[in-house]
Amino acid sequence: MKTKLLLLYLWVSFFHHGQTYRFKIIDPVICFDYKTHQIVAIEDSLYRIEIDLATKKSVKKPLHLDSQVTFQDFKSNFIPLSSEGSPIYFVDRGCGWVLELRKDSIVRVDRSFHHQNQFGGAFFMHHGKPYIFGGYGLFTYKKFITKYEVELKQWYLESEGGNLKNEELNIFGCNASRLSVLIGKKTGANFSNDLWTYTFKSKRWQYLGQVEGFDSLINKPKVEMNNNMIICLDYLYEFDLEKLRLNQYYLNPTNSVIRIVKFPSFYAVLKRVLNRKNEECVLSLIDQELFEKNHLVSSNKIRLLKKDESAVTRYWVFLLVVLVVCVMLWLAFRLKRIRKGKGKISPNVAELLELWLSKPDYLLELNELNDLVNYDNPSMDTLKKRRENLTRLFVVEISSMYQLPEHQIYEPLPHPLDKRMKLLKLSSKLVERIKKGN
């Protein structure tokens, strides 16, 4: 008897500031109608319960569920979404079908199919449209955002995710300008949580850092995780990713808490209770100020781990060493090519180079090449052909030897006394390299 009285006292003390409503089933569908400022609760396929927040009165009204969906499927596989100025949507938890509450009916409004590709993702509203980020499907974690176009009645890709490494989504929050997500990644015994933000206007992701100490909270036994809330043992943890704050609430007793949802200016707490025949559910609506006043334990700044400056320094030093090694290897390869080229110079080219370097201003008359190619009294045409071949061979071998473009080996000039004759002048760059021994 004393135990029952104690439990009754704890129950009353926890909820005495809020209005309670009893349901026949565990975990009914709870959503918020922004147009009428009412709670809509669905526990049966034949009716809905509307709770007026001003009068605190509940009214049972008829409900007609779309024939394509069974009530069990609706309750288990659809997530309610609504926002200011939008109707109440129910979105397939894997992404796909979209239902809408229209007066006394829930009807299917999309022209989509069962995508089944974003289970466990972040479901949220933005500018009156349902969105989904991340999730799991087809054996992979997703890093993209999809949005439901109300006018076209189809799902479309909003963002690819960039360099985002999405593995498991834990906590998220959304406002008019951006989406903030806390993404968990488990490697062996280590658990890391990266905070990312997505700006809708620029469609860009930004990495803010790693949340410190969150791994200890994740490893605790959890009752429920819902958007930005985690219920662990006797406490509710509420994340405000915009202000980077973590609020902790004491909820004792919590062994029967099913779910807590925050609506505008109040908290909705679903709790399991026992009667003589079976289990039922009680919904408590508690004003936000009273909830914080009676149950808030702490409100702490979320700390982001700073980047390891020494690790960054080591990274840049490593890149510099790699760059220096690459430059040295390139120089060694270049020197090897030059030396290899010097060994391949032909006797005729070496003789021509020696002759050319002996001339004043390095000017060589074209007919002076005759002595190098006139070894069997050839005809004039043959002599001209041999001169052309020799100069061509000279250009190729000297260009390879001194690593100069072929057009920079020599330049033809008109003869000052006879315009029919030509002078060939070695380029200044080639002469300079020859003098330096390169």
What is the rounded CA–CA span in Å between residue 231 and residue 218? 10
**Residue 283 CA: distances (Å) to CA of 20, 41, 196, 326, 413:** 5, 10, 34, 69, 101
Domain boundary among 324, 340, 356: 340
pLDDT at residue 382 greater than cutoff 70: yes
Number of structural domains (the chain) is 3
Bridge partners, 204 (sequence order): 199
Q: pTM higher than 0.75, yes or no?
A: no
pLDDT at residue 222 greater than cutoff 60: yes
236 and 291 fall within a common domain: yes
pLDDT at residue 11 greater than cutoff 70: no
Cα–Cα nearest to 135, from 124, 125, 149: 124
Stronger pLDDT, 325 or 173, i.e. the higher one: 173
35 and 128 fall within a common domain: yes
286 and 411 fall within a common domain: no
pLDDT band at 351 (very low <50, low <70, confident <90, very high): confident
371 and 241 fall within a common domain: no
pLDDT at residue 145 greater than cutoff 80: yes
324 and 409 fall within a common domain: no
pLDDT band at 314 (very low <50, low <70, confident <90, very high): low
Asked whether residue 2 is assigned to any structural domain, the reply reads no
What residues make up the domain containing 206? 10-306
251 and 132 fall within a common domain: yes
360 and 328 fall within a common domain: no
pLDDT at residue 267 greater than cutoff 90: yes
Residue range 179-193: mean pLDDT, rounded: 73
Please tell me the least confidently modeled range out of 1-5, 232-236, 429-433. Answer: 1-5
Angle at 229 between CA 82 and CA 307, to 5 degrees: 115
Residue range 403-410: mean pLDDT, rounded: 84
Asked whether residue 4 is assigned to any structural domain, the reply reads no
For residue 373, give the CATH number of its domain.
1.10.10
Please tell me the least confidently modeled range out of 48-52, 139-143, 331-335. Answer: 331-335
193 and 251 fall within a common domain: yes
181 and 254 fall within a common domain: yes
78 and 142 fall within a common domain: yes
Q: Alpha carbon 255 to chain centroid distance?
A: 38
Residue range 384-407: mean pLDDT, rounded: 84
Stronger pLDDT, 38 or 349, i.e. the higher one: 38
What is the rounded CA–CA span in Å between residue 269 and residue 262? 9
Q: Which of the listed ranges 290-299, 307-316, 401-410 does the model predict with the highest average pLDDT?
A: 290-299
Asked whether residue 377 is assigned to any structural domain, the reply reads yes
Asked whether residue 234 is assigned to any structural domain, the reply reads yes
Q: φ, ψ for residue 391 (rounded to 5)? A: -65, -35
Residue range 77-84: mean pLDDT, rounded: 95
Asked whether residue 255 is assigned to any structural domain, the reply reads yes
Asked whether residue 24 is assigned to any structural domain, the reply reads yes
Stronger pLDDT, 224 or 58, i.e. the higher one: 58
Residue range 88-92: mean pLDDT, rounded: 97
pLDDT at residue 340 greater than cutoff 60: no
325 and 407 fall within a common domain: no
270 and 412 fall within a common domain: no
Q: Which of the listed ranges 221-230, 329-338, 384-393 does the model predict with the highest average pLDDT?
A: 384-393
What is the rounded CA–CA span in Å between residue 112 and residue 129? 15
Asked whether residue 408 is assigned to any structural domain, the reply reads yes
pLDDT at residue 202 greater than cutoff 80: yes
Cα–Cα nearest to 34, from 53, 55, 17: 53
Asked whether residue 1 is assigned to any structural domain, the reply reads no
For residue 199, give the CATH number of its domain.
2.120.10
pLDDT at residue 1 greater than cutoff 70: no
Please report, in angstroms and rounded to a whole number, the separation of the first and last CA atoms in the chain.
Answer: 105
Stronger pLDDT, 223 or 28, i.e. the higher one: 28
Q: Which of the listed ranges 33-47, 107-121, 253-267, 338-352 does the model predict with the highest average pLDDT?
A: 33-47
